[in-house]
A and B are shown apart, each in its own frame.
Chain A
């Protein structure tokens, strides 16, 4: 049965202590209580510049900030670090602050081809969405398409693909003006001034001296504030109220954890045509937002990575948030390993170990994938950057940061990305980044000719706008499906679709499903689930259970288990996953591949629809008409009742299909299309073949036109359409058998050899001959016509060469004299090819 979220959490619970403690630094078990950031804030000696957190806004105008206070911090921290390595460290400092200025000035284009790779933009502090107009005005050379970037400097802050950022929630966009840089003490409500300590429970900051009793120094292990301790003991606690008139400013971290903000990981950044910046991101979720809610084992700073791809293209109301404008600044979401190593990242450090599946409300250990990601991403929180800071030689912070910067700029080339597909178990990460490469200009500027457009639309990959000629069949499919799912009972049904390849079977079913989807969206039919499986893409036939179960529940289990669950669902009506069982439409392409020796897979799948309450509709597609008859009677009786045949297209239909694709493009003569479709209809009625012929014809025509126009530009503009001759040439090319040409081009001995074969065939009337007989015939030929007989061994080699390209079929050459030979092509073809050979005119008399 599907694991409910609660269960899943429990499992995680158990797992937590036995987490892969690979490095010795993992020593403290990861329960929330032991997890102690022993944070202390050292007061700057003279100025009141806040050290704990620095914002990029502040730092922009206070360059002196990075001069003073860091050094002592650096020296003090290592002691504590050595003892409790797991905690994110106190003297966190937003890295951005000190490096800001350098970054802006040392922008380095990554892709030299794109017009402006890392663009700088400025935004007046605070006014979020209002400046899109301004940027539009700044447009220099407007690219026609999206431009992808790896790195964008936006509002003076650099965002790299793979960074984690805070994102505004639209509804409280107003409250983001206040972005307090310093956390205030919970007691005196003033920032700065004196060492602060963070409570491990409520994450509140406290001045050491404000505490009762005041602490002299920061304790090494966990520390919880008095309020929290009191709360734990069940006492009523009155938190000190802020002085009147002063609203307690909240940091971004607090806002995030109270779900007023969002955190997201940028997956790709691009600039739209209208010069607005967009990005695609993975959301992070706080535990409260998950279906399970906050669990006791959740850390305060824990987030869940979701599989929710917030996508601007999906027309959801959230998509506005994906403009770059809604990004506030960086935060750092780390895997447990990184989190353990992290020291002074500032307040914006979060911890993420599990991935949350928003669709199925299940949790998955995302550690593996996160690690992988952070390895090859230029994640600002990646280990590399910290190695230099860990250096015992204490330098001033500025230097270190500068070095980090240099390191970062080193091209992290293929070395980090040369991962075999297998090492990721076939899962795909970071593919979006491939798209960040720009398109060469000459390609973009090129204006397509009619012929090129024709070629484009004739591509098999381009989805046609309409699907002509299969209306009747599509109608039948859609009534079948609707009849099945709109029924209150929802009795299971089964449909078998057959037809030769290239007659639009799969495409029709998918088109019907698309239209059903739109009906579902408009609410006229009840929800259903649709599972599409291709028999040829399954590793084994039994794997189909696994695939179905995964599609229905989101869990990956072994096929035996999946079969068990599916049996429960379909025959006993138990629930899979959450919610009521929706009717399920199962499309199985290439059904004949599921035929196993005892045919149990097919039997199971076709048996489920007959059970009451199964709500399963099976649509099977295969090429052979008589597949049900070939199967066991108990299966064919279940499958063979409702059938639909897709006959080969007639030439009119093919013509219509081609013309509908070419609508609005004046490139083909009508007769040419008709000729092609007649030809294909006569042979196979395969629409793919017809389209392919037309495309080839267009290519030939294109080539011809280009050749013509180069010597005499003006004169021969006349005929640019694809005519009969081009189609003829394409058909010739496609249907010609190359063997005649090969025979004509074979060596002299090869020709004599073949002539001998034909001669033997005529003489004996038997297709098969042996090498001994043939060698005798060939030697006769040679002696009587003044050719030199090269010897049996050479002749044998010649024969084997011919056998290699399958002009003749022969046994292995080691059989020598006894080797059996046979022509692979009609003897007439061979005779025809050899008849008018200039090299050996005498061959003709033996043929």
Chain B
């Protein structure tokens, strides 16, 4: 292993020689901000070499962070040339061009000519469709990057009807639904009745401005509901604890602290991770939800 010093020397020697030979070197530092950690030795050496050696070399840093250059130490920042190039998401017109360009089949491909013509004709129809435009708008309202568009198009094309081999607006609409999933809501929808009870109990505890609560206090609340409303669903404590663990795994609830002390889970304080609105929605969507829970949630909604 050569030391850092040796390698720096090597790189500088290389840069010098390549500069003499009129060879250009491009050094790309992807995730540039990660290089700005620690003593920034690499950046310092590289940028220093850029200006102390007559070389035809370029250092290009790529980063998603806007403040990447602020992370640099003063002496390194002074050596940076401060040229910035910003890549923005595509505008409306660019987007249209991009879509057409990405989706249409090239004329000179190995596919049968008639198919290509038909496919492209159908595609142009879709692109002009109002429904399609609305789909694209809903997609891009949350994230308008090219990456997102590409993923969306891939999903749409993979749901294409293979019998006809022609894209339809429905493909895009199903894709956009698949892109904009609401994992938490869907999770609540699939919860068992006991889990729903636990969630509602937690919510009630929170409503009573109890800042910190754990499994035991939830069980107390559960018992209270059972006692006052005479619900048919009452489960033993060890069943409850398993439901509780399942909720933890679904990340619908979480521990307050991340410290892994050897307290058992019953005593560790927990927090609800979904908002009351989502919980309410989830209860409505869940078919097996007991009416009593919905009633309780309605009460909470009214009170707040």
A residues contacting B by CB (< 8 A) are 421-422, 424-428, 431-432, 434-437, 439-440, 443, 459-462, 500-502, 536-539, 543, 547, 590, 593, 623, 684, 686, 688-689, 692, 696, 733-734, 736-739, 741-742, 745-750, 772, 775-776, 779, 788, 790-795, 797-798, 801, 804-807, 814-818, 824
Chain B residue contacts of A443, Cβ below 8 A: 22
Tally chain B residues at the interface, Cβ within 8 Å: 66
A413, chain B: closest CB distance, angstroms? 16
Q: Are B143 and A536 in contact (CB under 8 A)?
A: no
Chain B residue contacts of A797, Cβ below 8 A: 142-143
Q: Which of A459, A689, A734, A738 contacts B86 (CB 8 A)?
A: A738
Q: Are B78 and A689 in contact (CB under 8 A)?
A: yes
B257, chain A: closest CB distance, angstroms? 12
Bound CA–CA A747/B180 (angstroms) = 15
Chain B residue contacts of A462, Cβ below 8 A: 54
Q: Which of A434, A738, A793, A816 contacts B181 (CB 8 A)?
A: A793
What is the chain A residue whose CB lies nearest that of B91? Answer: A745
Q: Are A461 and B182 in contact (CB under 8 A)?
A: no
Can you report 28 residue pairs joining A to B where beta carbons are below 8 Å apart? A424-B10, A426-B6, A428-B9, A431-B13, A432-B17, A459-B51, A501-B75, A536-B41, A536-B44, A539-B3, A539-B5, A543-B3, A623-B74, A688-B78, A733-B83, A738-B66, A742-B88, A745-B88, A746-B144, A749-B142, A790-B142, A792-B182, A792-B278, A793-B182, A806-B65, A807-B66, A816-B251, A817-B273
Q: Which of B39, B45, B141 contacts A747 (CB 8 A)?
A: B141
Bound CA–CA A428/B2 (angstroms) = 12
Given A428-B10, A817-B273, CB of A747 within 8 Å of CB of B144: yes
Chain B residue contacts of A807, Cβ below 8 A: 66
Please give me the 10 A-B residue pairs with the lowest Cβ-Cβ distance, nearest first: A426-B6, A501-B78, A460-B51, A426-B2, A745-B88, A748-B141, A747-B144, A434-B17, A502-B78, A791-B182
Bound CA–CA A71/B73 (angstroms) = 73
Given A426-B7, A462-B54, CB of A749 within 8 Å of CB of B141: yes
What is the chain B residue whose CB lies nearest that of A148? Answer: B21
Q: Does B138 contact A (CB under 8 A)?
A: yes
Chain B residue contacts of A788, Cβ below 8 A: 138
Chain A residue contacts of B83, Cβ below 8 A: 696, 733-734
Q: Does B34 contact A (CB under 8 A)?
A: no
Q: Does B275 contact A (CB under 8 A)?
A: yes
B284, chain A: closest CB distance, angstroms? 14
Q: Does B146 contact A (CB under 8 A)?
A: no
B residues contacting A by CB (< 8 A) are 1-11, 13-14, 17-18, 20-23, 39, 41, 44-45, 50-55, 64-67, 74-75, 77-79, 81-84, 86, 88-89, 138, 140-144, 180-185, 251, 254, 271-275, 277-278
Chain B residue contacts of A543, Cβ below 8 A: 3, 5
Chain B residue contacts of A818, Cβ below 8 A: 271, 273
Q: Are A421 and B272 in contact (CB under 8 A)?
A: no
Given A421-B10, A462-B54, A816-B273, CB of A747 within 8 Å of CB of B74: no
Q: Are A427 and B6 in contact (CB under 8 A)?
A: yes
Bound CA–CA A748/B7 (angstroms) = 48
Q: Are B10 and A792 in contact (CB under 8 A)?
A: no
A220, chain B: closest CB distance, angstroms? 46
Q: Are A461 and B39 in contact (CB under 8 A)?
A: no
Q: Which of A461, A747, A790 contacts B50 (CB 8 A)?
A: A461
What is the chain A residue whose CB lies nearest that of B67? Answer: A806
What is the chain B residue whose CB lies nearest that of A752? Answer: B141
Q: Are A590 and B144 in contact (CB under 8 A)?
A: no
B179, chain A: closest CB distance, angstroms? 9
Task: Known pairs A426-B2, A543-B3, A747-B142; list 15 more (Cβ under 8 Å).
Answer: A428-B9, A431-B17, A443-B22, A537-B4, A539-B4, A684-B78, A692-B82, A738-B86, A745-B88, A746-B144, A749-B141, A779-B277, A790-B180, A801-B143, A818-B273
Bound CA–CA A816/B187 (angstroms) = 14
Bound CA–CA A539/B3 (angstroms) = 7
Chain B residue contacts of A798, Cβ below 8 A: 142-143
Bound CA–CA A703/B4 (angstroms) = 40
- Please indicate which of the listed interface residues A425, A547, A790, A816 has the most CB atoms of chain B within 10 Å of its own CB: A816
Q: Are B55 and A537 in contact (CB under 8 A)?
A: no
Q: Are A421 and B2 in contact (CB under 8 A)?
A: yes
Bound CA–CA A775/B184 (angstroms) = 14
Bound CA–CA A686/B50 (angstroms) = 17
Q: Are B54 and A461 in contact (CB under 8 A)?
A: yes
Q: Are B2 and A817 in contact (CB under 8 A)?
A: no
A435, chain B: closest CB distance, angstroms? 5
Bound CA–CA A42/B82 (angstroms) = 75
A56, chain B: closest CB distance, angstroms? 32
Q: Are B141 and A792 in contact (CB under 8 A)?
A: no
Bound CA–CA A501/B271 (angstroms) = 50
Chain B residue contacts of A688, Cβ below 8 A: 51, 78-79
Q: Are B141 and A738 in contact (CB under 8 A)?
A: no
Q: Which of A426, A590, A686, A772 contacts B3 (CB 8 A)?
A: A426
Chain B residue contacts of A547, Cβ below 8 A: 5
Q: Are A425 and B2 in contact (CB under 8 A)?
A: yes
A720, chain B: closest CB distance, angstroms? 23
Q: Which of B84, B183, B275 contacts A738 (CB 8 A)?
A: B84
Q: Are A792 and B184 in contact (CB under 8 A)?
A: yes
Chain A residue contacts of B138, Cβ below 8 A: 788, 790
Q: Are A536 and B39 in contact (CB under 8 A)?
A: yes
Chain B residue contacts of A776, Cβ below 8 A: 275
Q: Which of B11, B55, B64, B82 contacts A689 (CB 8 A)?
A: B82
Q: Are B184 and A793 in contact (CB under 8 A)?
A: yes
A307, chain B: closest CB distance, angstroms? 15
